[in-house]
Structure 1
């Protein structure tokens, strides 16, 4: 290992940047990050750029700054790494160890160049229970980045290894000659669904012979060794399509490409009939039989034929290159030449292929049909979440942006398409452009000069978008990004996609964008604020330049209103760095002093402007002490002084000042604390405007401040003087929420007190006698506030009158729609409390549980009263069954809104029901009660013509039966019931429930979990059979075989 140690020391001595043979890690791989170890080793093993070099992962280096920090944690044992290497095939030789250097310990992983059995892939998924790395995945390192290897990468590896790609074997020569014409056409089609007669019809049109005779020859090829053709689950597809087309190049003529154009246009121009449906129904298009005529496989195959052919137009000896290029361009233009947004939306995921085939034509088509394209960002399809149809277009734009020739044009076009007054859409647009243009990771091959051109064009033609983009490109603003969509077949771009940005290019771009920031900031106050916001991210030299612009003479000469914005923001930045001057990122004392000098140049002269800073919402930024109490005292003293400076000029000036600040409540509070013996309270309350929230906040603060200064007597005195009921309500609402306030409200406001109860924040933490307040809140239409108070009573162990709780819950049902999660949490808490209380009316609990079924099932809350009623009253069960299901054989009818709501509730209840008829409190099951319930239920359900559904429901509920006291995994009384010859429906429902309860899960392509479940249920079936429950055992074996079959399918796939 001496050689390895020497190399590692040499690397640590020189500290080169990460590259295709060196990777740095700050800390060793933790157990939960072992999947990353597998990825990193695989990527190095397959790295094309460093085939002839040993590769090293060195641990104990901060890779962003290339700073040696040494091992802070111990290296995992080599045995752990060697076990992980067993997940890679072929199994590589890798060594690990530690060395000392400059009094620090470092770890290393060495991947020798002798590992030359490429390509390497994962042989097993890891971890097996919740895979992060899936079996059969190839990773590759490109420069300093790891990524999943694509087909192009694998072909390149095999060509360097002088091997053929295993999935792209060459046909036997005699087979190739015999079927060359058929294979040539197959390669152009790419794939289709063998069961789709529309696919067959269009293929017949293309091949110009009956499909059935042609497919016989294709099947002959499929049987041969080394076939490029694949047939699986009635889907025909190609393996190594590009290679097949190249091999068949002599079989292509101009007329074939002409015929192909006609077919592609016909297939891809089809409007998707799902757009006949409403937006919230489109995701159910298959259910409504609103599908495109042609299969997804055929549409994908034909769409991808265009970029594949465009990447090899010069290889066909019997076809004109120019003519083929024209055919591809004309095809793309014909498909996209439509003003119908629905056609564009139907092409959503095929747009990247069309864009790659003919980028210039694609851009032109967007411009010519821009209204239709704009609509893609507005129209939605609503499932669990709402989505637009712009995803494919965005990918296509990103793909074209890699091409230097079309870069400027496509960037400007996407701005024209996406530019909107909607801030969310603007943000999405800026994010797309910033991903492409980021100086430290540009995702385009366009030179720096073209990137600069794009930003300048946007600054001039779309000023807001251009400026927002520019601010994203400032160093340090964006520190993480994701990959844009890359071309798949355009080799002229692919060969350059993984180029590495040089330091020179990086610094050049930064200089360009920083200079543009200065040039275009001009005297726009918001832009100057944006410059202040990025001062943390730029170098000292650039910070000085920015400050010179921000505090230029032209800015100093502006009025105080303008300067305040700049001065306030600079003050915040300076104080933040003073507060954290002990950190690495804080400005130096010299820098802070320089900034203070510049800030003082733009300080407002007028005190009424300058003093606004003390009434900011985030005013604690003004102080650099970490003592919050001391800061609060200072702020309060400054606020009081500010008010004293204004008061001599009169209340009008104070109210004007209130309209100019952010925190009106604090202004009112401080004003209430100041001696205003010469000022009448009526003069203050006249200022109140019910429609002005700032004035209301001021009055609230004033009342609280005055109350703290003068006590409760002042409130009573003022409340009697004020005539307006809204002003009275504001006064009382600012007071503590407790009984003295409520009595005063009752005495003074009387019949007008509804205003108070609607305005007050019902915070019951000081209150006694809450029952009266809860009654008032309910009476005056504030059930959510009442629920908050009842929850407080429960938390504090107080007695809660059940009638008030039921009334509050009843009145709150409509208001709770769209309410904050706290209100829902409190509602569940009250229901759970009522369920546990003795003597609570069951009828009321049933009603409340029914009303709130939609929020049951969370936080352990279940409708136990309803479920118990189902388990004890077959008549009630039948009633719910009738609400949920129509009679057998009855025609479907459209339900009213109320009927639909009731039916949904009934479904919820039956699907969540877990209490089995005959259940005893001690956890046992009474066979006689169960039998009686079943018999009565069958009779009632048969009379209501819903017997099958009743048996289905109870069959599913029996899944929750407990284990038997004799040790069998299911209660024997339940097993006996399910084993009866006549209970086929119940048995099927029982095993279906078992299957459905598995829920969402990760798919393991090894089928391990499915085989484990199959074994588990085979074992349970054996136990049932030994206890004479052979019919139920047979059903369990059928379930086990289903899992076994699914596992085999995963392996095949």
Structure 2
């Protein structure tokens, strides 16, 4: 929505009213809500309202739809229990399923499925609307309900995050037209780069069918209705389709695929009673449905969850499989295990094991290996290669990468062959290699993803760097295997290495080692923590700069995650918990925040999670650590403690665990007892109340989370609120606490039967406290009425329109009290303090007092502040609705400036009555209206040609384009001359890239191409101006230009000469900007051109015309020195050659011309065109598509050779060979990555 003011509606559900963020323009006379029309003084709705849907309780009927809905919900519960994944979302565990989400503010409410990233704790949602039967058409009422709800949620940031969450329509069997058409449409949206590409491809027959386009029209019409009758911007439409999914389930059929898959999921855990478990799931889902409940693994019955317990696996003892295996079976025993410590290559293997991994194709790696082993790599490596032939070789090799299969075992087997001098040499090399800063940091952040292109790479391979870091970790953590090293030597090597590596380190060093930090921290945790503490204490701290490097772009990176994982790993050890936690808290104090989930605060929350702590520390130690954080970093501790309250952090993906150190015992089981959980939860809550003291911001936060405070913290909190110190606070300071209490109580009162709702006793206590804290000043007392969402202000369970009317009257009474007790000026100040100033303006207008007109107008019409404009525009709009244009005419405007009159007209509907008054009242200053009006032609049924011409006259071609597009949508005829002038004017302004949707431009150009009255010369210039947009179109291709290319070889040659210098010509210097733009246009046009010369208007191919065109073209370009480039360009187009009438796959005349001895450049272009015609494609690891293409072109080569075109056949065999090479390369890249 672009209008400043909005109305927020509600929709009706059986158990109450909740916020329904359906936004409609306050400046739209086509309001469909009867309540709003009444408020605005309008007559009954001209359009049947479509502001939501009646939600039915699944148990109010015995319908198949209700049963289908319950089955769908049970399906997702089954996926959650069986560790399956939700469709349309990342493959993360399902952690929560909300049923009947209307009570939580969702419009798409049958189920909301939450998944969580185990690595980052990021959560995403699937908002599901379940319809057993539906038709995806323009007029289908059920589809209208679905789209209305989906559009509401899509635009509600509280319930939906665009680009991350998804909305799904979940259906039973659909018609093939609906299923295929909608699926193709939605997938097309998800697989295009942006809206321009999406609409471009939809307009091309090769990318989609008329069925798909008809489904797009259905979505557009339904979304327009959902948007209050206003056109949805193409970018918003595109984003909506990308986030919308259609899921078909055949649960009605017992033998259906989905039913079979569900049974398979359950049977993994209990195959004997899979059907009984399914019905148990279904019954529990129905129980939750009755109470609009939320399902997690913890809220399901224990016996149901027990069915999905991971089975304990017992393996046959190794001794049973050795030596005597052939006695009973007659099968030869496996070869005996090799004793690698006594193998001839043991010493070399020990050194290789110390190094870990390296790339044989990296010369810098080989130099390092030579230095460590003390001999030339070529002399040292042959013995290792010999070991690869032994069946249980500990080392592996593939694609040039060496690595150990089980490095810990090799360390234990071969550690005794390492001596002090080996460790000294290794340390020296490791410090040099790991101490090398990444040159990518010399580039700007947005270019680092292309570091290889800019040749900004660390010389050594990632394999070697990781191998050396692992080696340090092994030296520091598994010293007992180094039996021939001096006592204390390994510990000294590890400690000194970490100390030197981070000594006086800057942000580049920490960023360069980001991915290796978890490993390096295991080498020596004490030294690592000291290094981090020193860096944090530095001024400025390198971590401040490191946080700044976080990038949210498509190739963005986070350079702090490695440090967080390292500290998480250290925190598992009880001895390091407090120290590591304080370091994390110190880091959090430097964290500016960002979009990445890896944040120090999140790490702390996971470490101290009461129901699943990620540390081996005792309860006493965990509490001591939390108190330490609270003392040293109270602001960080406040946020962490809030996240540890009951119900606040109900799922976790865990934290990083040490890999090399044996910190976590083998077989250790995570989790705590119920008693320990509540002891820790109460501790966190009491610490929060203690830390809050009498800070009003913190007390307000606790008030908001009161329903998460267990006793005795809840009692301590209410006692604090009732204390004389709190009650004596100034009312302005008490306001946030009071507001949060009122909001909490209203929410719980609204849903008294919900399982999460507080009891009447608790709510009565909170109401009593709120009454004592409430401000006495009306402008403070009533602020929440104009700031909180409507859902929190509704009372009872009446009709939503009645609730809206009641709320309007409550607001009117509030404003009236402010006026009576504090005066008109305070009412204006009040409007600037609330979140919805337009509501204040609308209410003030309802008093219909002329003195208000004079107090507000024209004084506030010149204010640039958005809140002031929202307020005064809503006031003026409402007053005109109440009194018609007569109200405007009766205003005494004798002393007004022209700008003030223009601004008032801009706040009113864009219609003929406004245009006439602008002309009459503004005279020579009429431009002040036309330069600033919203120009929303949907607000009028008047003929818009006059207005659009005025807008163009005042240099607003973008507004004209939008208006013309709306006229086309309304099936109105447009003026071709005006349209051409607007399109040509648009390319000369900055508006095109900022305000005008390409879809509108394409729609107008298409209309001009179809019109019989469009000036051909102007249309030629329009198409040339919009070549960048039209070049990828078919339905709206640059047909005028393409016809000219296919029929006039001279035009083709002009374009070639614009793009390329003549052969042998000297460089004439830097081209002008105008020449550069023309050359770019020419290149784009030729790149998209696909009409073979000789193709007639009716689509038939005329061989004689083709030969004539080719002959003329060659004469021109030979004379100009452009023969080769022109031939190559034409060869690209000839890929689109028609079949020959006699059955050959290519027209014989075109094949003969390409086969000519002197036309090798034409064949080169043809070869390039074949390769380019494949476009973007997925990679099959087996190279099957490439093999198939190679086969096709070999067959085609044989066919044209048999027809007498051997040179063309040679070109085709070269194409086939290139696809063979592609297949071989793809296959070779699969497998062990090293």
Query: When the two structures are superposed, what TM-score results if normalisation uses the length of structure 1?
Result: 0.79
Where 1:715 maps in the other structure, the secondary structure is: helix
- Which whole-Å CA distance do the structure 2 matches of 1:94 and 1:533 have between them? 44
Secondary structure of 2:388's counterpart equals helix
CA RMSD of aligned residues (A): 4.7
Relative to structure 1, the CA distance from residue 966 to residue 897 in structure 2 (aligned partners, 3 Å threshold; closer, same or farther) is same
| Aligned residue number for residue 741 of structure 1 | 914
| Gap change, CA 1:831 and 1:307, over 3 Å in 2 | farther
Quick one: distance in 2 between partners of 1:501 and 1:257? 42
**Pair 1:832–1:655, CA change in 2 (3 A):** same
Confirm or deny: 8 A CA contact 2:396 2:404 kept in the other structure.
Answer: yes
| Alignment pair present for 1:768 and 2:942 | yes
2:740 corresponds to which residue?
569
Equivalent position SS for 2:575? coil
1:579-618 pair list within 5 angstroms: 579-581=750-752, 583-589=754-760, 591-616=762-787, 618=789
Q: CA deviation at 1:934?
A: 4.5
SS class of match (1:209): coil
The aligned counterpart of 1:4 is: none
**Which residue number corresponds to residue 393 of structure 1?**
563
* Preserved CA contact (<8 Å) 1:888 1:945: yes
Closer, same or farther in 2 for the Cα pair 1:882/1:560, shift >3 Å? farther
Residues 1022 and 531 (structure 1), Cα distance of their counterparts in 2 relative to 1, 3 Å cut: farther
Using the alignment, how far apart are the partners of 1:749 and 1:200 within structure 2? 82
- Is 1:1017–1:1036's contact at 8 Å kept on the other side of the alignment? yes
Aligned to 1:636: 808
Contact 1:190 1:298 in 2 (8 A): yes
Match of 1:723 among 890, 896, 900: 896
| Cα separation, 1, equivalents of 2:898 and 2:1067 | 59
CA gap of 1:1037–1:311, structure 2 versus 1, over 3 A, is same
Instruction: Return the alpha-carbon distance in structure 1 between the equivalents of residues 445 and 1073 of structure 2.
Output: 19
* Offset of residue 552 of structure 1: 5.1
Check the 8 A contact 1:348/1:390 in 2, yes or no. yes
- 1044 and 197 in structure 1: CA distance in 2 versus 1, 3 angstrom threshold: closer
TM superposition shift of 1:416: 3.1
Q: 1:375 aligns with which of 521, 545, 548?
A: 545
Q: In the superposition, relative to structure 1, how do residues 273 and 79 fare at CA in structure 2: closer, same or farther (>3 Å)?
A: closer
Residue in structure 1 matched with residue 692 of structure 2 by the alignment: 521
CA distance in 2, matches of 1:604, 1:252: 77
Q: How far apart in 1 are the matches of 2:751 and 2:1145?
A: 63
Separation of aligned partners in 2, 1:977 and 1:175: 72
How big is each residue's C-alpha offset from its partner over 1:771-817, in whole Å with a ceiling of 9 and x where there is no partner?
22223333334443333222211111112223433444445455457
Range 831-840 or range 468-477, more displaced: 831-840
2:1006 is the counterpart of 1:827: no
> 1:1045: Cα distance to partner?
2.2
* 3-state SS of 1:406 partner: helix
Partners of 2:358 and 2:703 in 1: how far apart? 58
Query: Do the aligned partners of residues 439 and 424 (structure 1) sit closer, same or farther apart at CA in structure 2, a change above 3 Å counting?
Result: same
State the distance in 2 between where 1:698 and 1:511 align: 47
Give the drift of 1:257: 0.5
CA contact (8 A) 2:356 2:403 kept: yes
How far apart are the structure 2 equivalents of 1:85 and 1:1011? 39
The C-alpha deviation readout for 1:549-586, integer Å capped at 9, x for no partner, is 55655433333323333333333333333444454444
Among 972, 997, 1002, which residue is 1:798 paired with?
972
Distance 1:360 1:904 in 2: 61
Q: Which moved more, 1:909-918 or 1:424-433?
A: 424-433
Aligned to 1:298: 464
Q: 1:586 to 1:276 in 2, by over 3 A?
A: closer
1:431 to 597, 602, 606: 602
Question: Relative to structure 2, which stretch is displaced further, 345-354 or 216-225?
Answer: 216-225
Does structure 2 retain, via aligned residues, the 8 Å contact 1:430–1:469?
A: yes
Looking at structure 1, the residues matched to 256 and 971 of structure 2 have their Cα atoms a distance apart, in angstroms, of 58
Q: Relative to 1, partners in 2 of residues 1:582 and 1:1015: Cα closer, same or farther, differing over 3 Å?
A: farther
**How far does residue 483 in structure 1 lie from its aligned partner after superposition?**
4.3
Would you say the 8 A contact 1:314–1:321 is kept in 2?
no
Cα distance 1:1020–1:575, how it changes in 2: closer, same or farther (>3 A)?
Answer: farther
Displacement, 1:386?
3.7
Q: Which residue of the other structure, out of 577, 584, 587, is the alignment partner of 1:407?
A: 577
**Unaligned stretches of 5+ in structure 1?**
1-23, 38-42, 44-61, 65-71, 108-140
1:1041 match: 1220
Question: What are the superposed Cα offsets for residues 725-761 of structure 1, whole Å, 9 maximum, x if unpaired?
Answer: 3432331112111011111112212233333334432
Further displaced range: 420-429 or 692-701: 420-429
- 1:991–1:1036 CA contact under 8 A, matched in 2: yes
What's the secondary structure of 1:445's corresponding residue? coil
1:213 to 360, 379, 399: 379
Distance in 2 between residues matched to 1:482 and 1:970, nearest whole Å: 59
How far does residue 674 in structure 1 lie from its aligned partner after superposition?
1.2
**SS of equivalent residue, structure 1 residue 216:** helix
Q: Distance in 1 between matches of 2:1107 and 2:808?
A: 76
Displacement of 1:305:
1.7
SS in 2 for 1:424: coil
Report the Cα offset of residue 253 of structure 1: 0.1
Does the 8 Å CA contact 1:925/1:973 hold for their aligned counterparts? no
Does the Cα contact within 8 Å between 1:787 and 1:809 map onto a contact in 2?
yes
Give the match's secondary structure for 1:387. coil
Matches within 5 A, 1:967-1046: 990=1166, 1005=1181, 1030-1031=1209-1210, 1033-1042=1212-1221, 1044-1046=1223-1225
8 Å contact kept, 1:1010–1:1046:
no
Shift of 1:600: 2.6
Distance change (3 Å), C-alpha of 1:202 and 1:28: closer
**1:510 corresponding residue in structure 2:** 681
| Unmatched 5+ stretches in structure 2 | 1-73, 88-92, 94-112, 116-249, 284-304, 324-333
After superposition, the C-alpha distances for 1:1004-1026 in whole angstroms (9 at most, x for unaligned) are 54556655666666666666666
Write out aligned runs for 1:775-854 (5 A): 775-813=949-987, 815-816=990-991, 819=994, 823-841=997-1015, 844-845=1018-1019, 847-849=1021-1023, 851-852=1025-1026
Normalized against structure 2, the TM-score is what?
0.68
Cα contact 2:958–2:992 (8 A) shared by 1: no
Instruction: Report SS of the residue matched to 1:307.
Output: helix
Distance in 1 (alpha carbons) for counterparts of 2:1141 and 2:83 = 44
C-alpha distance in 2, partners of 1:169/1:916?
A: 68
2:838 aligns with 665
Cα 1:1051–1:465 change in 2 (3 A) is: closer
Matching of residue 555 in structure 1 with residue 555 in structure 2: no
Aligned to 1:486: 657
901, 919, 931: which one aligns with 2:1095? 919
Deviation, 1:764, is 1.4
Q: How does 1:664-703 map to 2 (within 5 A)?
A: 664-677=837-850, 681=854, 684-687=857-860, 690-703=863-876
How many correspondences in the alignment?
955
**Residues 859 and 923 of structure 1: is their aligned pair in 2 closer, same or farther, counting only changes over 3 Å?**
closer
C-alpha distance after superposition, 1:794-842 (max 9, x if no partner): 111112223433444445455457747x834433433443344344345
**Per-residue deviation, residues 605-649 of structure 1 (Å, max 9, x unmatched):** 222322223322624521134523212222222233233334345
Equivalent position SS for 1:192: strand
Residue 608 of structure 1 aligns to a residue in which SS? helix
Aligned to 1:442, which of 610, 613, 618? Answer: 613
CA 1:100 to 1:639, structure 2 compared with 1: closer, same or farther past 3 Å?
closer
Question: Is 1:345–1:376's contact at 8 Å kept on the other side of the alignment?
Answer: yes
Q: Secondary structure at the match of 2:965?
A: helix
State the match for 1:120 in structure 2.
Answer: none
